[in-house]
Chains A and B, each alone.
Chain A
Amino acid sequence: MIEARALTKKFGKRTAVDGIDFRVQPGQVTGFLGPNGAGKSTTMRMIAGLDRPTSGEVTVNGRHYREHRAPLREVGILLDAKAVHTGRTAYRHLLAMAATHGIGASRVREVIELAGLESVAHKRVGGFSLGMGQRLGIAAALLGDPATVILDEPVNGLDPEGVRWVRTLVRGLAAEGRTVLLSSHLMSEMAQTADHLIVLGRGRVVADATVDEVIARATGSSVRVRTPDLARLHRTIAAGDVTVTTLDDGAAVVSGLTPTQIGDAAASAGVAIHELVALSGSLEDAYLTLTADDVEYRSAHVTRTPEEVAR
């Protein structure tokens, strides 16, 4: 289990991670989702002790990462940027990593096979394609047979076969009872792989729930409205947690109210309604709603951070 408490990271004046709390449970795949720059990679580097939190803390199985006596058996991590010396062969790279923990060549060969790298194992990493590099990174993450696996954008650069491989692999790891944290800025990938989602936006947790819950809560209260007098309708229904977004085709999407509430309000104000549709969301919609700049925090009904709850 990974536990973050008020975890914060500032780079100069820029706050990359803004006091987040979350738990990543074993036995399931947790998706770490958010647009580029949301703070996913920074959070993952803090979990592995590579970046020092500005404040707050994060632990893996109850301890700070650096306090573990066998870090590679505890956590296997694939970082977003390549983290391998280009002048070394894949085999020597893995052998050197394994050597720190007294893990032998047989395990190195095992992960090379697992990642499908047999044909390039004795070639220097500098010549690897992005996909090969990702496979090597995943092989390295699995070296210590870790209880927790953290993969930052693992499907980047992989071909469709590789994407399927990662999906099967992480599902299998979770089924074995491991803790799996997987980041992506792509919704579609998460929809097929993750059980649970932690959605980050601008360094904050904007949602922390099962995939189904995120869809239901983030999009369940969205309603598409078409009316000749949007301005008057807007005035009628305006309230604290109601947002109205105008679409290109003249319709508007209202969130924070049910179709019944909107219809009743329009009737009592004498505003004509041409269309009134409850939008049943996809994860894509939920994601856009949760992370879009203009509605970022107001529509964050599923947020469970203490700050959000207190609001």
Chain B
Amino acid sequence: MTAATLTPSPTVRSDARLTFPRILRSEWIKLTSLRSTLWSLGLIVALGVGLSFLVASLGFGMEGASAPDPGAVVTTATIGVSFGQLIAAVLGVLMVTGEYSTGMIRSTLAAVPARLPVLAAKSLVLFLLVSAVGAITMFGSWAATYPVLDAQGLAVGLAEPGLAPALAGAAVYLGLTAVFALGLGTLLRSSAGGIAASLGVILVIPTVLPLLSLAVDWADEVAPYIFSNAGVAMARLPSTESVEESIGQTLLEPGLGGLVVLAWTLVSLTLGAIALRRRDA
């Protein structure tokens, strides 16, 4: 009746409405405007590159080597994955549980009431950002260690078959780890719970499984398919005899490892999506 007297603000255009790219942009602004994000990502790069350089300088893993060993170079360059995955997981959990603990989630879901686009946008933004930072870390580590190894005649160039894909695999693994943790955080809605659950999957399962294999024989069979072992597989060279030897346990081929990590991530995201859709904000 009185709608005719509504005075629209000229700064809110009539085409203002929800679209997925806009939700992506919103999530990008949210993720990059928190100091904790910048700290976490900075730490992944600094620790990753620093540790690789240290290991290469001290010659760990290449004792007595006289010829370049691509497998050892990959291992050295991707050494930062070990704690990089933990930082990525914490970042992924906090991306959503930080919204629950502060109440921000209600603002978020009031703006995007369909809810699932929020989780999709968070996943995509997080994956791209963490993978990119992972790539900077891995290729940065390779570059930082190159002169040290070159001086000993042990350096391996990026053109080496399988080397660049292994470094990229490590980067993508970090991105997927963050999204895997995001799914658990969405499911559990608590920072402590989400961090405990994701670190449990990443750290505790690979520790417990060898003990379990003393009791049951299927433990060895599932070992390559657990989250972090499949992640290690993503960051290795495709099989040759020397690779098998240096790893000392059976790992999946890099591509299959990637699919296994992706499957874990999709399961976690699905559980998170169901909780997000069903429960009150």
Q: Which residues of A contact B (CB under 8 A)?
A: 26-27, 45, 48-52, 65-66, 68-73, 75, 77, 79, 81-89, 92-93, 95-97, 99-104, 106-107, 110, 140, 143-145, 147, 175-178
B223 → A minimal CB distance (Å): 39
Interface locus among B8-16, B74-82, B134-142: B8-16
A176 → B minimal CB distance (Å): 5
Q: Considering the chains assembled together, what is the distance between the CA atoms of A70 and B9 in angstroms?
A: 15
A189 → B minimal CB distance (Å): 23
Q: Considering the chains assembled together, what is the distance between the CA atoms of A49 and B111 in angstroms?
A: 10
* Contacts A100-B26, A102-B17 supplied; 8 other A-B pairs, CB < 8 Å: A66-B114, A69-B17, A71-B18, A83-B104, A87-B34, A99-B29, A177-B2, A177-B3
Q: Considering the chains assembled together, what is the distance between the CA atoms of A75 and B111 in angstroms?
A: 9
Is there an interface contact between B26 and A96, defined as CB atoms closer than 8 Å?
yes
Is there an interface contact between A96 and B29, defined as CB atoms closer than 8 Å?
yes
Q: Which residues of A contact B1 (CB under 8 A)?
A: 26-27
Partner of B6, one of A75, A96, A147: A147
Is there an interface contact between B11 and A65, defined as CB atoms closer than 8 Å?
no
Is there an interface contact between B3 and A50, defined as CB atoms closer than 8 Å?
no
Q: Which residues of B contact A72 (CB under 8 A)?
A: 16, 110-111
Interface locus among B58-66, B95-103, B158-166, B178-186: B95-103
Which residue from chain B places its CB closest to the CB of A52 in the assembled complex?
B280
B5 within 8 A of A: yes
Q: Considering the chains assembled together, what is the distance between the CA atoms of A66 and B111 in angstroms?
A: 9
Q: Which residues of B contact A87 (CB under 8 A)?
A: 34-36, 98, 102
Is there an interface contact between B11 and A106, defined as CB atoms closer than 8 Å?
yes
Is there an interface contact between B8 and A145, defined as CB atoms closer than 8 Å?
yes
Partner of A50, one of B7, B17, B110: B110
Is there an interface contact between A84 and B33, defined as CB atoms closer than 8 Å?
no
A67 → B minimal CB distance (Å): 8
B23 within 8 A of A: yes
B281 within 8 A of A: yes
Q: Considering the chains assembled together, what is the distance between the CA atoms of A102 and B26 in angstroms?
A: 9
B240 within 8 A of A: no
Which residue from chain A places its CB closest to the CB of B21 in the assembled complex?
A102
B51 within 8 A of A: no
B237 → A minimal CB distance (Å): 41
